[in-house]
Amino acid sequence: MVAAGSLDEHLYAVRAHRPGEAPAEDHRAAPAHPIRTSAGRGPVPADPAPIGGTVRWRVKAPGAGYRTVAVADGVVYQATRPGGLLALDAATGQERWGLTSAVPFHSSPVVADNTLYIRNGKHLWAVDTVTGRMRWKIATDCVQDARPVVADGTLYVAGRGGVLWAVDVVTGRSLWKQRLRPRRRHSYEQFTDPAVADGQVYVSFPYDSLYAVDAATGRRLWEVRTQASPHTSPVVADGTLYVGGDHSLIALDAAGGEKRWERPLGTSTWSTPSVVDGTVYMGSNRWYLWAVDATTGEERWKQETGAARQSSPAVAEGTVYIGSEDMSLWAVDAATGEERWRLRTGGEVQATPVVADGTVYVTSLDGFLYAIHT
């Protein structure tokens, strides 16, 4: 629930001023100077549209540099340190509400049907997106940084020790839990984020195996040795399961786990693939953003963008957006790989960008959340 006594602070952006006083100036969402690095695009019209790569606004978001925002119905949601959860107006960056907790939030938020889900210590919280008040919380021993997934009225979340949970989104009641053990004794004791498609839930132990379980019952269906990297989660598209291997991108049959192809990347990757219009886009830990054919695994192009590390590509309206260790957010033509623009921040961009209504939202290790014109 919203902490008592903190509403004045958290609703700072919308509170009324006293009669006779000038409205309080809000420094939390100040426009930043554009730091666009791509070449000009010819003569500027008399009344130009916003230029891609320029900042609409930015707000302080301490400790959120590795977190991916959630955007829904004109609101941006993000967890901050030490224990803050913010709801910001997507157009202006002004606060709509804020929630505080004595325990830090340890995952990126997920929003579905006016409810936000997020990990807080050993608990999973469900928060009303309109009021900021808690709907329920349950103890699940969630994995740190593990982002829950919502599908068909069920929330799936990875727990420690190889436990996968299924939770009713309305009540928070546990529907089932399944313990999956890695093949190797010294594998990671935690999953990456789950993926859900066609009645199956997919999770992987880094450097070990990928599992498929029945979404309704939790019954284990199959497992495949993949050597998947930490932080790279499986993605399903058109009956194919894609996951980043230790030094490769792997495509499996989503129904049975048989390998369809494997594309060497020459380096490890912690990036999660994105599949759009028959192309798989994948960052890597060195210098390249890759685009490969989703059916064959053949390379279409690769662009030198700097190491993506944990940032994963987001694709919208023919452009791929990805963060980099060079402290930049890159925008690349999805068909050709040509750089469209690049925005340099004050720190590494390790988070995954989110695109909504002509704006890219992303956090940086400089402690800011940015809203950038596409």
Once rounded to an integer, what is the mean pLDDT over residues 320-348? 96
Query: Is residue 73 included in any domain, yes or no?
Result: no
**pLDDT tens sequence across 64-114:** 999 999 999 999 999 998 889 999 999 999 999 999 999 888 889 999 999
Least confident window among 24-28, 254-258, 305-309: 24-28
Tell me how crowded residue 187 is: count the other CB atoms within 10 A of its CB: 15
Give residues with Cβ within 8 angstroms of 74, minimum separation 6. Answer: 89, 90, 91, 357
The pLDDT, as a whole number, for residue 116 is: 98
pLDDT higher than 70, residue 290: yes
Confirm if 271 and 283 have CB atoms less than 8 A apart. yes
Helices and strands: H and E segment counts in the chain: 1, 33
Query: Is residue 220 included in any domain, yes or no?
Result: no
The pLDDT, as a whole number, for residue 48 is: 60
Distance of CA 157 to the CA centre of its chain: 15
> Which residue range forms the structural domain that includes residue 341?
31-41+50-66+310-374
More confident residue, 16 or 124: 124
Give residues with Cβ within 8 angstroms of 314, minimum separation 6. Answer: 274, 320, 321, 322, 352, 353, 354, 355, 360
Q: Letter for the amino acid at 132?
A: G
DSSP code, position 22: P
Query: Is residue 340 included in any domain, yes or no?
Result: yes
Query: Is residue 305 included in any domain, yes or no?
Result: no
Give, rounded to a whole angstrom, the gap between the first and last alpha carbons of the chain. 35
Specify the pTM: 0.85
Least confident window among 4-18, 110-124, 243-257, 267-281: 4-18
Give percent of the chain with pLDDT exceeding 70.
Answer: 84
Rg (CA), the chain: 21
Query: Is residue 324 included in any domain, yes or no?
Result: yes
Query: Is residue 138 included in any domain, yes or no?
Result: no
Q: Letter for the amino acid at 127?
A: V
**pLDDT tens sequence across 19-71:** 233 333 333 343 333 334 333 334 444 456 678 899 999 999 999 999 999 99
pLDDT higher than 90, residue 335: yes
CATH of the domain at 347: 2.40.10.480
- Indicate the pLDDT class of residue 185, thresholds 50, 70 and 90: low
**pLDDT tens sequence across 117-155:** 998 888 899 999 999 999 999 988 766 667 899 999 999
Confirm if 307 and 265 have CB atoms less than 8 A apart. no
Distances (CA, A) of 318 to 248, 263, 332, 337, 373: 25, 23, 9, 10, 15
Query: Is residue 342 included in any domain, yes or no?
Result: yes
What mean pLDDT is reported for the chain? 85
More confident residue, 182 or 247: 247
Query: Is residue 123 included in any domain, yes or no?
Result: no
Tell me how many domains the chain contains.
1
The two structure tokens encoding residue 64: 């959120």
SS3 339: strand
pLDDT higher than 50, residue 14: no
The pLDDT, as a whole number, for residue 231 is: 79
DSSP code, position 59: E
- Indicate the pLDDT class of residue 268, thresholds 50, 70 and 90: confident
The whole-angstrom separation of Cα 205 and Cα 233 is: 10
pLDDT higher than 90, residue 332: yes
